[in-house]
């Protein structure tokens, strides 16, 4: 599980810092690999090397939104409901995180590596 602190301006122009949680399970990683047709690290490197910006955007969005969830207080559940995902996707926090990952290759790499730590498949 990856915990990511994001500071952003909310829609009331207030600066907010929140912690968000991201995790990919082995079945989710397997689905992503089946969709892209290769290892996740290799695919990310290929997109960057080819400067495939549309592919980079789509892949980044897939990783963020597939991995986002809400951790239960007792730590026994990680809820990835449609409602939770949409609430995050339409937030200023998502926009800020997306921008950070798109403009900082090191941060993007660290995010991807953090997600892979939780899943067994690569």
pLDDT tens, per residue, the chain with 122 residues: 899 999 999 999 999 999 999 999 989 999 999 999 988 888 989 999 999 999 999 999 999 999 999 999 998 999 999 999 999 999 999 999 999 999 998 898 889 888 887 665 44
Spatial CA neighbour of 100 closest among 62, 68, 60: 60
pLDDT confidence of residue 39: 87
**Sheet with 2-9: strands ordered across:** 2-9, 15-22, 68-71, 78-79
How many CB atoms lie under 10 A from the CB of residue 6? 17
pLDDT confidence of residue 120: 55
pLDDT confidence of residue 109: 85
């Amino acid at each position: 599980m990856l915990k990511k602190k994001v500071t952003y301006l909310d829609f009331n122009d207030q600066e907010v810092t929140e912690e968000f949680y991201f995790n990919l399970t082995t079945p989710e990683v397997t689905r992503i690999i089946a969709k892209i047709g290769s290892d996740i690290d290799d695919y990310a490197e290929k997109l960057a090397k080819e400067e495939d910006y549309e592919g980079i955007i789509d892949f980044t969005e897939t990783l963020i939104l597939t991995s986002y969830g809400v951790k239960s207080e007792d730590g026994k559940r990680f809820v990835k409901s449609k409602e939770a995902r949409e609430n995050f996707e339409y937030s200023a926090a998502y926009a800020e995180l997306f921008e950070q990952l798109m403009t900082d290759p090191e941060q993007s790499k660290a995010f991807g590596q953090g997600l892979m730590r939780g899943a067994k498949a690569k």
